[in-house]
Amino acid sequence: MTRQTVKDALKDTLDEVLDNAVGRAGGVPGVVAMITDREGNIYEGAAGVRELGKETPMSTDTVFALFSTTKAITGTALMQLVEEGKVRLDDPVKKYVPEIAEIKVLEGFDADGQPKLREPRTDITIDMLMLHTAGFGYEFFSHEDRKYREKKGVPSILTSTFDSIKSVLLFEPGERWNYGVNIDWVGKVVEAVCGKRLGEVMAERIFAPLGMTDIGFTLTPSMMERRATIHTRAQDGNITPQPDLILPQSPEMDMGGHGLYASIGEYMKFIRMILNDGEGVLKPETVAQMSQNGLGELKSGGWISSDPSLANDGEFYPGVQKSWAYTFQVNEDPTPTGRPAGQLMWAGLANLFYWIDRKNGIGGFWASQIFPFQDVASYLGFIEFESAVYRTLNRFGQIDT
């Protein structure tokens, strides 16, 4: 079985999946999707347009706001420092970023709607941030965090400011898993240790070794020209382009949790690095550590929306046990799409989804730019895409499920 035969079969199948995601009633405006093995990309596809109402077609070099798919790259920068002995995962974060000691635990709101706060009994460690067990939330996934921000005038994280992550702890550090601004704080740790902006650290220590050039917290003129517009889907299904919806350029803070822009081919280089056990960026034993459940008996699950314009309620693969690693979700059971147990994935707010199957040496990325998260058309397209990949590779005896 030649590699080209597999690539041809994937192209025939996956082009149709992309076309369906765009062409069906209420479909997504545009999508770019790619698959890589350990050697290189074995599928690259694009369908639809960069902005509804304009003629520019979506192309494989289109630039996307990566949102939370930024997190794993920030986690990689931190793990490099762990390898070098410059930080320990059990270090208290306040050792590097003293401001975190000012964050209190929220115990509800009084009769006047004012937050009731107490000091945490436990220091937040780097490990807790990496595993999302520190107590932080997101304003669009937590009614409490949203209400606290409104009462205290804490800016939205989309402002890309340090003040935007100085919110509140929703529970005692270490108590449970909850998705939030943790990795933005990890980025501040990286900056404190390296004495540089997070973007500079990534450029020197991750992007350069992997040949990633079309990526950054600030868009170059070329990237700006190729940027896909974010769209919003209203409750009635109508889709509206939001051409002015863009993260601050240049940002006050390089947001390690969500701030990168890139073309998807650049992210595939990062996925290949993980598939290839670190490939000049990390040690193989570090990648193995980053690929394992770090939560013990705790689990990572779904989310509730506190802002329907940005996110729907949801969960990936309901019924599949899921844990968390540094910093990926791990499916502890096989997924209905065909991914074997123990593999990695995560997503970005504007309906970007990736997975990394280290067992089979396969990784995929599905990228769109539409709110709210877990969009009815884009998320369905991603599920069909991953399913079609495993079905096709299985047909050619290329995978072990």
Nearest in space to 170 (alpha carbons), one of 158, 181, 186? 181
For the stretch 217-240, pLDDT in tens is 999 999 999 999 999 999 999 999
How would residue 1 be classed by pLDDT, with cut points 50, 70 and 90? low
CA-based torsion, 320, 287, 347, 398: positive or negative? negative
Q: Residue 284: what pLDDT?
A: 98
What value does the CA radius of gyration of the chain take, rounded to a whole number of Å? 20
- Catalytic amino acids? 68, 71, 179
Query: What residues does each domain of the chain span?
Result: 3-72+213-396, 80-193
Please, what is the average pLDDT of the chain?
96
Q: Residue 397: what pLDDT?
A: 86
Q: Residue 399: what pLDDT?
A: 84
Average confidence (pLDDT) over 32-51: 98
Instruction: At 76, list the tokens.
Output: 């990689």
Average confidence (pLDDT) over 155-161: 96
For the stretch 68-118, pLDDT in tens is 999 999 999 999 999 999 999 999 999 999 999 999 999 999 999 999 999
HEC profile of the chain: CCHHHHHHHHHHHHHHHHHHHHHCCCCCCEEEEEEECCCCEEEEEEEEECCCCCCCECCCCCEEECHHHHHHHHHHHHHHHHHCCCCCCCCEHHHCCHHHHHCCEEEEECCCCCEEEECCCCCCEHHHHHHCCCCCCCCCCCHHHHHHHHHHCCCCHHHCCHHHHCCCECCCCCCCCCCCCHHHHHHHHHHHHHCCCHHHHHHHHHHHHHCCCCEECCCCHHHHHCECCEEEECCCCCEEEECCCCCCCCCCCCCCCCCCEEEHHHHHHHHHHHHCCCCCCCCHHHHHHHCCCCCCCCCCCCECCCCCCCECCECCCCCCCEEECCCCEEECCCCCCCCCCCEEEEEECCCEEEEEECCCCEEEEEECCEECECCHHHHHHHHHHHHHHHHHHHHCCCCCC
How would residue 401 be classed by pLDDT, with cut points 50, 70 and 90? low
* Direct distance between the N- and C-terminal alpha carbons of the chain, in angstroms, rounded to an integer: 19
Average confidence (pLDDT) over 53-58: 96
Cβ atoms within 10 Å of 194's Cβ, excluding its own = 17
Q: Residue 400: what pLDDT?
A: 74
Cβ neighbours of residue 131 closer than 8 Å, sequence gap 6 or more:
177, 294, 295, 324, 325, 326, 327
Q: Residue 361: what pLDDT?
A: 97
Contact 58, 30 (CB under 8 A): yes
What values do phi and psi take at 219, rounded to 5?
Answer: -75, 130
**379 pLDDT more than 90:** yes
Q: What's the CATH code, domain 3-72+213-396? A: 3.40.710.10
b/e 384-395 (16+ beta carbons within 10 angstroms → b): bbbbbbbebbee
For the stretch 20-41, pLDDT in tens is 999 999 999 999 999 999 999 9
How would residue 298 be classed by pLDDT, with cut points 50, 70 and 90? confident
Q: Residue 309: what pLDDT?
A: 87
Q: Residue 263: what pLDDT?
A: 98
